Amino acid sequence: MLTQRGLRLNVPWDGGAIMKKLTQQDLADLVEGAAIFSSGGGGDPQIGSNIVESLREDHCPVRLIDATEVPDKQIVINFACVGATADAAYHSDAAVKTLKTLEEFLGKKAFAVIAVELGGFNTLAAVDVAARRGIPIVDADGAGRAVPEVHLKVYSLDDIPLAPMVVADIAAENIVLIKQTRDSEAAERITRTLATEWNQTVYTARRILTGRQVKTSPVPNTLSMSIRIGTLLRKALDPLGAILKEAKGFLLFEGIVAKAEHETKSGFTWTTLDLDGTSERKNSSFELKAKNEFLIAHKDGKLVAIAPDIITAVNPETGRCIPAERVKRGDKLAVIGIPAPTKWRSHKGLKLWEEVMQRSGITENYAPIERLVER
């Protein structure tokens, strides 16, 4: 059976799985939709768009598979770039080489690839590697948003180890196989150190999931959700209102950037933004702070959103994400907030985030965004 959008194929894939072949438009929508959940990080969507065009030119089909269709005894490998968002770059051959190095160590080819996080670049990097390896991409990811540290994934809540993992520089001239680490935090430190050494960005293949684990641990159906959001951004008469309704989000502020500070160091891009309100918010001010991703927002000095809830700056007319590192003085922004996936709001999830926030210089306690906006 074929449909015009997405080509739903009743074709088995190594064990009876049903896939959806993504069209060029699906992929373009995925770039824009995943960026909405990126909290301003996850890499520049323009790089994601470049990946989509490259896949078209090279005639590489992309097949999306539901996590429930992965056979229990097969393996799925997470793939992403790690480092400072301002210095991200990407080369397909080197990225695929990174994945294959881990497969060679395991002595087994991955059944599928899964995106580590949602973002206009990082999600598409995983899509690209899967397509060029001839395997599907899973309709799920490890965070339901973009996150600033390697170990900050829902897998850590399920005690799934980060290693073995492979880390490579952008040209894959330097490749490191990490067989084991003391804990996931150690894997973050090692990866970040390598990223800092190798021009602030590296490829990583890591978090090997069994087919059984991929059904329960990742945040499910996030790529198809991102495609729906991207479609709304392209088609809706009121894109901003449409995506807020679909994502159950909130409009936190609209204003003009009065000050934008960016600094790249230690494998991260740090950003602080000050906004002056416009229209009915003209007497208000707004502050955002990011460590790759926006982590906290204050309006008139009061907390209005804090991670793990998602804080994303967008173009107020088109609704499209503006990456944190790209925001400059004078830009007109709308800032939206979206509730975090349920797993992040668990006691264990919030504890993991608390440690990351403290390393980012943020000491405020978490409060759900829906409670903060109703104050």
pLDDT band at 1 (very low <50, low <70, confident <90, very high): very low
Supply the range of the domain harboring residue 35. 8-223
Q: Kindly tell me the burial class for residue 153, based on how many C-beta atoms sit within 10 Å of its own C-beta (0-12, 13-18, 19 or more).
A: buried
Residue 199: per-residue pLDDT: 87
Rounded average pLDDT over 105-124: 97
- CATH code (residue 338): 2.40.390.10
The token pair that represents 273 in the structure block: 């933004």
The answer to the question of residue 230 being in a domain is: no
Q: What is the pLDDT of residues 10-68, one digit of tens each?
A: 333 334 456 799 999 999 999 999 999 999 999 899 999 999 999 999 999 999 999 99
Q: Say how far apart CA 245 and CA 239 lie, in whole Å.
A: 10
Q: Is 160 left (phi over 0), alpha (psi -120 to 50) or beta?
A: beta
Same domain, 188 and 49: yes
121 & 206 share domain: yes
Q: Is residue 150 part of a domain?
A: yes
Write out pLDDT tens, residues 137-149.
Answer: 999 999 999 999 9
**Which CATH number do you get for residue 195?**
3.40.1610.10
Whole-number mean pLDDT of the chain?
A: 92
State residue 9's pLDDT score. 32
Domain-embedded: residue 208:
yes
Assess whether 195 and 158 both reside in one domain. yes
- Asked whether the predicted pLDDT for residue 263 surpasses 70, the reply is yes
User: With bands split at pLDDT 50, 70 and 90, how would you rate the model's confidence at 90?
Assistant: very high
Do 112 and 140 fall within a single domain?
yes
- Total domains in the chain come to 2
Cα separation values, 171 from 93, 94, 95, 207, 234, Å: 8, 5, 8, 22, 34
What is the pLDDT, as a whole number, of residue 86? 67
Are the CB atoms for 201 and 81 separated by under 8 Å? yes
- Neighbouring CB atoms inside 10 A of 302's CB total 9
47 assigned to some structural domain:
yes
Q: Are residues 52 and 165 in the same domain?
A: yes
Q: pLDDT higher for 114 or 2?
A: 114
In sequence order, the 6+-apart residues with CB closer than 8 A to the CB of 134 are none
3-state secondary structure of 197: helix
Q: Same domain, yes or no, for 274 and 245?
A: yes
pLDDT of residue 11: 32
Domain assignment present for residue 233? The answer is: no
